[in-house]
Amino acid sequence: MHPSITAIASLCLFAAHPLTASPSEILSFESISSRIRNHNPELAAAGFRIDEALGLAKQSGRLSNPSLESGISSNTRANEGNIEIGLTQKFPLTDRLRIEKEISATEIQVAEAEVKNVERLLISDARQEFVKILAIRERKSLLKQQQELAIELAEFISEKSKQGEISPLDAAQAKLASLQLTTQERLLNTEETAALGKLRPLLGIAPETAVTLSGNPSTIAASKNISIERPDLAAAKLHLRATEAGIALERANRREDIAASFFATEERSEDAPNGFDNETIIGFKLSIPLPFWNNNQGNIDAATARHNRKEQEVKALANQINHESNTALTEIRQWAALITELEDKLLPLAKEQTDLLEKSYKQGQGDLQLVLNSRQQTLELLASKIDATREFHLANIRHQASRGGNF
């Protein structure tokens, strides 16, 4: 065989059987939480807030380092002088160090709550995108069924047209209706690509990885009505507690630290007419700052205002959470009522009418446009049911996220 032909054959074989298969991931609604915790880079970055708070806690509430002081002096007219060495340590007159430790411990709790809140939001976002993708794929499956019915009808019309029983215009009309369904499918493909583009980074999945989603919106069980304190509200309350301690800290800072010094001096002096004499002196000094010009009142006022602001922020957030929860719960009830109406009334009626019109048309007693219109109405109702189911679950996810539960 010619070498070039062999090379071409090898390339074709390589293209048909690549050395490495494309990576793929199978996801379920239940697995999203663990995927977020283990693979989301934003949550991993947020986790270092706790490490930062722990590091700051190690540094807080500590005495300042002692100071080593030394000095030497000499009499220029005589062979006299002294050498002094001292150790100075500052001590607070108030319980400032204890308050600093208390604030640091609270900040650790704040960091933990903030990380939990990031996790809550990420899981909620990922679950919503998951539901959207499932709904899009269910819409695509519905379109495929409608396409098969449209092709079947078009073939029937084409056959009858050849026999002269049906106008050729009906065949063209049926073919156009089938092509319109193909256009809708392409639009859904675009929506699915966009939703997957949002879901992949949330779950730490590479862009080239194929994603398979298990389940559909109709089979996702409604979350249990669990209510716990939302982590962002918990963080806000902890911030409020920290500002209370902050006021106490600024009041404690009214009194500056005292400084205690221990020193030793070796002194050489002339004791005439006996000569020179060396003396060792050991002493203690205490330095107490007097609060004459600065009583730290400005910082106390600022800390009080900060506390008042945090107090109002806690109230505002609690009110917002209450509204979010009630709104989502109302949406759940409304979407559930619409789904029931579609399943029990509208869809059975539309199907019955479409079947009757198709039967009449095939018997030569009806109009094609009526059949196509009826099919379109049925398709829209089926799509409305899929959309309503999607919105029901999205509202349920928002409701659970607003109550801080089921994650």
**Among 93-97, 258-262, 334-338, 352-356, where is mean pLDDT lowest?**
352-356
- C-alpha to C-alpha distances, 224 to 132, 252, 331, 399, nearest whole angstrom: 21, 48, 16, 11
Query: How do residues 149-164 score in pLDDT, each as one tens digit?
Result: 777 766 666 666 666 6
Q: With cut-offs at 50, 70 and 90, classify the pLDDT of residue 369.
A: low
Query: How do residues 186-243 score in pLDDT, each as one tens digit?
Result: 888 898 899 999 999 999 998 888 888 886 665 565 555 556 789 999 999 999 999 9
Q: Return the ∠ at Cα 391 (arms to 182 and 131), rounded to 5°.
A: 70
* Measured distance CA(173)–CA(369) in Å, rounded: 8
Is pLDDT above 50 for 2?
no
Tokens of 206: 């590479």
Provide mean pLDDT across the span 120-137.
93
Tokens of 317: 């957030």
Q: In the chain, pLDDT over 70 holds for what percent of residues?
A: 80
Is pLDDT above 50 for 96?
yes
* Measured distance CA(67)–CA(403) in Å, rounded: 54
Is pLDDT above 60 for 14?
no
Residue-range domains of the chain with CATH: 32-403 (1.20.1600.10)
CA 180 to centroid of chain Cα atoms: 39
What's the pLDDT at 3? Answer: 43
**Among 60-74, 302-316, 347-361, where is mean pLDDT lowest?**
347-361
What's the pLDDT at 12? Answer: 40
**Among 22-26, 248-252, 375-379, where is mean pLDDT lowest?**
22-26
Query: How do residues 272-291 score in pLDDT, each as one tens digit?
Result: 666 667 788 898 999 999 88
E strands, 124-257, are 210-213
* 267 conformational bin, left if phi > 0, alpha if psi -120 to 50, beta if neither: beta
Is pLDDT above 50 for 80?
yes
Query: How do residues 287-338 score in pLDDT, each as one tens digit?
Result: 999 888 888 999 999 999 999 999 999 999 999 999 999 999 999 999 999 9
What's the pLDDT at 275? Answer: 61
Is pLDDT above 60 for 15?
no
What's the pLDDT at 25? Answer: 81
Task: Please choose, from the candidates 401, 398, 404, 394, the residue with its C-alpha nearest in 3D space to the C-alpha of residue 336.
Answer: 394
* Measured distance CA(379)–CA(184) in Å, rounded: 12
* Measured distance CA(291)–CA(27) in Å, rounded: 66
Provide mean pLDDT across the span 62-71.
91
Is pLDDT above 90 for 46?
yes
Q: Is the link from the previous residue into 273 a cis peptide, with omega within 30 of 0?
A: yes
Contact present, 237 and 314 (Cβ < 8 Å): yes
Is pLDDT above 50 for 167?
yes
- C-alpha to C-alpha distances, 288 to 91, 93, 332, nearest whole angstrom: 10, 9, 67
